[in-house]
Structure 1
Amino acid sequence: MCAKRIPGTNTGDFNEITNRLTSRDFDILESLEKYKIMTAGMIEAQFFPSRHQAGARLLTLHELGLLERWRSPESKAYRYVLAWRGQCILALIRGDKPPTKLAGTHAAQHQFLSRNRPHTEGINAFFSRLHLSARNHTDVRVRRLNEELWITGIVPDAQGDITWADGTTLRFWLEHDRGTETLAYLAHKINGYKERDSRRPAEKASVLLIELPSERRLRNFLPIATKTWKDESIAWRSPRLTVAVCASSANERTCTNPETFRDAITNPHWHILGRTTTHSLAELPAIVQEIRNQRTEI
């Protein structure tokens, strides 16, 4: 039998907030600071065993004034962002000056109304699915990395790595495609990553992951992307960049019903350019090394 939920009160009482917050709550606040905006499904995938538990706790954090939530007319799913009080809590933890209430409220509302919100949510859904998979595999850790300085005129949508208990690491760049660019333009981005790879050949090998919104777009994209990937006129001195492409479902792109998702790390649904079979992210570290070794021997 589930314990009865104790509602929160949005009074700003410091004692109530500190007495009610758990370590998981602080993790949720920090995750929202990094991801900017998330649905309940994304937060559930990262932190909760069920939709009911996620919904109940998020409601309490909203009642305490730590999270703000809205939903648009076309979607019934709430979007959660850090409310002003949640921003203040994280600032106090770091020893920073908390934002004013006006600035904090403006920042929260901007995340919901931003034109980039669908793209941001798609990227966040991708990482949430990785975190969900890692929770089911105790020997796996997933991190979303901070942006680095890029010198080739192209910046990834996100960067991250997956690390296994034996020390194996898959570092990746992510391009999240929403179907708003031409396939030729999307494929051309591969050249920017190849050039970047050639300028820093001593660094740990990385993989470019490209996520597409449909199987049809994937089928049309693969031959164009493969031709670009094989073009030796770009960055010919570098070990060949590994590029993996997949299509995600509508539910996966919005992180709806995460309990129904295929395993994001072990399911073999990634097409590796230059190969005829699909592979999982767990298989990619060995493939990356194999491709780089083959390129070095040429």
Structure 2
Amino acid sequence: MTTSRRSTTKATNASTQVGNRLTSRDVELLRLVAEHRMLTSTQLATALIPNDRTCRLRIQVLRDLGLVETFRPPRVAGSAPLHCVATGKALRLLAEAGHAERVPAVRGTARPGSAAASVALRADLSHLAGANEVFCRLRAAARASGGRAALEEWRSEWSASRAFGSRIRPDGFARWRDGTDWCEFFLEYDTGTEALHRLAAKLRGYADLAAATAVSVPVLFWLPGPEREHNLHRELSADRSGVPVATAYGDPCVGAPHRAVWQPVWRVGVERLTLAGLGTASAAHLGVPQRRHTI
């Protein structure tokens, strides 16, 4: 009995010490890193803590507490930003704090360093970073808008699949609002390595989801360049899925996905639309009221 009381007291003290050093912004940082598998220090500064030095200091605090692990993938020139990954300890604390629906479950007992290693060895690490960059840019745009705009929802690949079922596996789902205009969308982040017909085939799952939920929202393809965009539009010219599709291209690290960069497949040749404007335009294209998913 004495051993049990000491063990409980030790665990309580450890949790209290962690809690005493965490700010509300730290918890939000941890939740974002946990849900989205990995975010770089640059992305966290873009999305959450505008001051780079402050951001790195908070990451160091979380690392000292055993809540994040970091690594830097090799680069041909220069050094990569810190890549941050939530530890099992962080996932447990977040779940206990009421975030269980938005963070992965902890499986087993992991050795120190294993969380970072599992992400560092992912073959799709650059794809994951690129997709997350698009959403981090939206968070930054919302902060800069002075309250006019907001990224009201942002779900990761696994969280979106959990919410919408196995029909689809997007790289993210979000709801963006700018003033009174808003747009829900699924993101497909393309690095140019997948055959175009495979990109087009993904629309069947989105069409099935729209039929099941009576809600159809745009599927947005972020592409590496204009030639890839032109070729995808040509591939989709015969698409009969009924899913509204729009495309943008470029380096997401310097992109502005909230601006008029989106080219709807159904109206090629006219001015590109803003992200918020895509919501109304897609509904008008389909001839249906604009509706939100309930998740």
Q: TM-score range by the shorter chain?
A: 0.7 to 0.9
Structure 2 distance, partners of 1:105, 1:223, is: 46
Query: 1:37, 1:60 → 2: CA distance?
Result: 17
Matched, 1:82 2:86: yes
TM-score if structure 1 supplies the norm length?
Answer: 0.76
| 1:250-285: CA deviation from partner (whole Å, max 9, x where unpaired) | xx2xx4xxxxx45321x2111111212211102112
Alpha-carbon distance change, 210 to 243 in structure 1, aligned in 2, over 3 angstroms = same
Residue identity (%) = 24
Q: Separation in 2 of the partners of 1:155 and 1:66?
A: 28
Aligned to 2:243: 241
Higher RCO structure (Cα 8 Å, ≥6 apart): 1
Instruction: Provide the residue aligned with 1:162 in structure 2.
Output: 176
What are structure 2's unaligned runs of at least 5 residues? 1-12, 290-295
In structure 2, C-alpha distance between the alignment counterparts of 1:80 and 1:189, rounded to whole Å: 30
Query: Structure 1 165/217 Cα, relative in aligned 2: closer, same or farther at 3 Å?
Result: closer
1:184 is displaced (CA, Å) by 2.6
**SS of corresponding position for 1:163:** strand
Alpha-carbon distance between aligned partners in 2 of 1:95 and 1:61, rounded to the nearest angstrom: 18
RMSD across aligned positions (CA): 2.9
**Alpha-carbon displacement from aligned partner over 1:170-194 (angstroms, at most 9, x marks no partner):** 1111111111111232233334433
Instruction: Please give the TM-score of this superposition, normalised by the length of structure 2.
Output: 0.77
Q: Deviations over 1:82-126 (max 9, x none)?
A: 134323422432498977653675344312222232222222112
Give the aligned length. Answer: 261
Secondary structure, counterpart of 1:102 in structure 2: coil
Change (3 A) 1:292 1:82: same
Which amino acid in 1 is paired with 2:154?
A: R
> What secondary structure is seen at the aligned counterpart in 2 of 1:289?
helix
Question: Aligned-pair distance for 1:210?
Answer: 0.5
Answer whether contact 1:37 1:79 (CA < 8 A) is retained: yes
Partners of 2:266 and 2:106 lie apart in 1 by 51
Q: Which residue of 1 aligns with 2:281?
A: 287
Q: Distance in 2 between matches of 1:48 and 1:111?
A: 23
> Is 2:148 the partner of 1:139?
yes
Matched with 1:208 is 219
Q: Which residue of 1 aligns with 2:123?
A: 115
Q: 1:214-253 counterparts in 2 under 5 A?
A: 214-225=225-236, 227-229=237-239, 231=240, 234=241, 240-249=242-251, 252=252
Instruction: Give how far 1:201 is off.
Output: 6.3
Q: Does 1:269 align with 2:271?
A: no
* CA gap 1:157/1:98 in 2 versus in 1, 3 angstroms: closer
